[in-house]
Structure 1
Amino acid sequence: MAWRRRIAAGAAVCALAAPVAGCTSPAAGVDGDLADDWARLPAAQVFIPGAEVCHDKAYEQTGRATAYRPVDCETEHYGETVYVGTLTGAVAERATPPEADDALLAGAFAECDERSTAFVGRQWRDGRLTLDLTLPSAAAWQGGARWYRCELNELTTVTDKADWVRRSGSLRGSLPPGLLLTCFAESGKNGSVDTMPESDCAKSHNAEYVGTFTAAAARKYPVSEADWDYFHDNCRKAMATFIGVSVSATSKYGVISWPYSKATWAGGDRGVRCYLWLETKKMTGSAKGTAGKGIPS
């Protein structure tokens, strides 16, 4: 824009000087308006990341174009982008990028949830995975970026303090058997889980993953016993299907309902993992499809 200001100033000087020195006529083929002879500057390009790529660096909530270096998923990597969407509505009107626990991200998370399940060919929570959103930096947001990346990352565990895992191969189409949740050795007091490491189902254990359900969007994070009743009732439905018994028959067993965290819940994650729980009793082998045979009650 500076050159336009300079040209306008020059024209004014010529007009003021005309009574004294005059201004020569433009040469043939020249219209005297230099401004319209400049090509328009190209529109600024907003960086948009790609989908179905993997990343050498561990997950970060902020995705910067300068640090964007996707790698072949067959090489060792951390997370995998399964989908890239665009934020719209109230969240897109924010002055700064939202935090992960912003309720305005619920729609984006729901889209990522559905896309991730389709990507792996089954409920992604059946595995030691976490689903997270990566968002533009504050500077990119100011420049108009409104994309979000749906990232699946493998964890060391989903039932205790976890860390990211470097892996090889894409998650597209299937979850490797070693990634699937199976049996656990739970310990705790007064209805709370203190620790719950994974266990080989062929060894003695007192808990087993049975499936997941999605809580209603308006459902708040559980605090009271009445809140938890809703979660346990829905997990018993998953348990009944897993074992092969009626929902009422599951009342003889304990149940663990596990929303991932209060922070992810606030950001729209309504998925709840469900576990058969034998409390102080133990069993060997899986309860799946047993119709209750061999499960201590």
Structure 2
Amino acid sequence: MSSGTRWFGTAAVVLAFAGGCTTAPQETPPPAVPPAPAPVTQSSEPPPKQAGTHRAGDCLAIVDNAFRKIGCEAEHQAEVIMSDHLPPGFAADYPPSTTPVAPTCRAEMARYLGSQDVPATRLEHRVLWPTAEEWTSGARWFACAIMERDPENKAAKRTGSLAGALSAGLGSLRKCYTEDPLAEGTRVVGCDQPHRSEATPRVIPLGSHTDPAPAYEESMKKVMPRCETAVATFLDGKRPDATPGVILPATEYWASGATTGVCYIHTPEPVTGTLSPEQ
């Protein structure tokens, strides 16, 4: 059994980027006594690097099939976690292949969110590129963004930033499925909705994306005993009817950095609410 990330299409969809809206400041009378100037402090952290249109921390809403920068307190579908220039010699084909930069995006997701357990959540990365016109004019940058999968395999609307969102555990971002993850017609849902399967924390590394993908039997031999132990520990005997399972990365996504196995708990009947405690 194997499962891969196939939402939003397997290739990046290039959208035109519209600028954000601004409002004119309102005039106010000056104070009778000028306030003392605020102390100037300098942060030891450098500002996020920007290459092209985006920088880390930008939130993007989809408006008229295009991404528009918007305040993170407003509803949005994507959050940029990094941007950078493409290395010299990057293929000139358009739209570009996401495979060479996807491992960078996955690694940055873990750093930005505060956990290696991203594959056990509903969060996935998206690679953003220049427009076709910008690419033709010589623009060579990419940006990594986080999007949340909703039950219809679309980008869910969110408010607030996701920075550090997994530092205390999976929380409300844990990935649950209406049926077995590999069953026909199963849907990804929040665990507060009826579901029969849910991912557990502590994903299991299977190797490096620079090496050949391991055989299915090899991965199962490595992962399944650990999942059986993990699920038994999480449930502590409270759900003898629950069984452990494994989600392995699809081999076609291995070179893109999908290199971890995810354990999950499966129940014969739907449940609401998470079965396993945070670890």
TM-score of the two chains, using structure 1 as the length reference: 0.57
Structure 1 residues 162 and 68: CA distance shift in structure 2, 3 A: closer
Gap runs ≥5 in structure 2: 1-50, 235-241
Conserved? CA contact 2:52–2:130, under 8 Å:
no
Matches within 5 A, 1:115-126: 115-122=108-115, 123-126=117-120
Report the equivalent of 2:68: 69
Write the distance in 2 (CA, Å) between the matches of 1:59 and 1:78: 13
> Kindly, what percent of the aligned residue pairs are identical?
21
Comparing 233-242 and 109-118, the one that deviates more:
233-242
C-alpha separation between the residues in 2 aligned to 1:270 and 1:139?
34
Q: Which amino acid aligns with 2:155?
A: W
For 1:148, give the aligned amino acid. F
Q: Give the SS at the match of 1:118.
A: helix
Query: How far, CA to CA, are the matches of 2:53 and 2:216 in structure 1?
Result: 40
- Which residue of 1 is the match for residue 197 of structure 2? 207
The answer to whether the Cα contact below 8 Å between 1:185 and 1:199 also exists between their aligned partners in 2 is no
Q: How does 1:238-257 map to 2 (within 5 A)?
A: 238=227, 240-241=229-230, 243-244=232-233, 253-257=243-247
Letter in 1 for 2:263: C
- TM-aligned CA deviation for residue 129 of structure 1: 1.2
Alignment check: 8 A CA contact 2:150 2:156 kept? yes
Give SS of 2:154's match: coil
TM-superposed CA distance for 1:146, in Å, is 1.9
Return the alpha-carbon distance in structure 1 between the equivalents of residues 85 and 52 of structure 2. 12
1:269 aligns to what?
258
| 1:169 match | 160
Query: In structure 1, the residue corresponding to 2:144 is in which secondary structure?
Result: strand
Choose from 50, 53, 62 the match for 2:58. 53
Over the aligned positions, Cα root-mean-square deviation in angstroms equals 3.9
Q: Which secondary structure state, in structure 2, belongs to the residue aligned with residue 116 of structure 1?
A: helix
User: Who wins on radius of gyration, i.e. which is larger?
Assistant: 1
Instruction: Provide structure 1 residue ranges, at least 5 long, that are not aligned to the other structure.
Output: 1-45, 61-66, 246-251, 291-297
Task: Figure out how many residues of one structure are paired with residues of the other and give that number.
Answer: 213
Q: After the TM superposition, which residues 136-175 of structure 1 pair with which residues of structure 2 at under 5 Å, given as runs?
A: 136-157=130-151, 162-175=153-166
Q: Give the structure-2-normalised TM-score.
A: 0.60
Distance change in 2, residues 1:236/1:149 (3 Å): farther
Compared CA separation, residues 263 and 54, structure 1 to 2 (3 A): farther
Change in Cα spacing, 1:56 to 1:208, as seen in structure 2 (3 Å) is closer
Q: Partner residue of 2:23?
A: none
The answer to whether the 8 Å contact 1:186/1:193 transfers is yes
| Relative contact order, higher structure (CA 8 A, sep 6+) | 2
Given candidates 183, 189, 196, the residue that maps to 1:193 is 183
Paired position in structure 1 for 2:124: 130
1:85 corresponding residue in structure 2? 84
2: CA distance, partners of 1:273 / 1:58: 34
Query: Which residue of 76, 83, 103 maps to 1:110?
Result: 103
Which amino acid is the alignment partner of residue 131 of structure 2? S
Runs of 4 or more above 4 Å deviation: 197-203, 261-266, 280-285, 287-290
* Counterpart code for 1:210: T
1:153 aligned counterpart, secondary structure = strand
How many angstroms apart in 1 are the aligned matches of 2:114 and 2:185?
30
Q: Which has the higher helix share?
A: 1
Query: Would the alpha carbon gap of residues 86 and 242 (structure 1) be closer, same or farther in structure 2, given more than 3 Å must change?
Result: farther
1:179–1:144: structure 2 CA closer, same or farther, 3 Å change rule? same
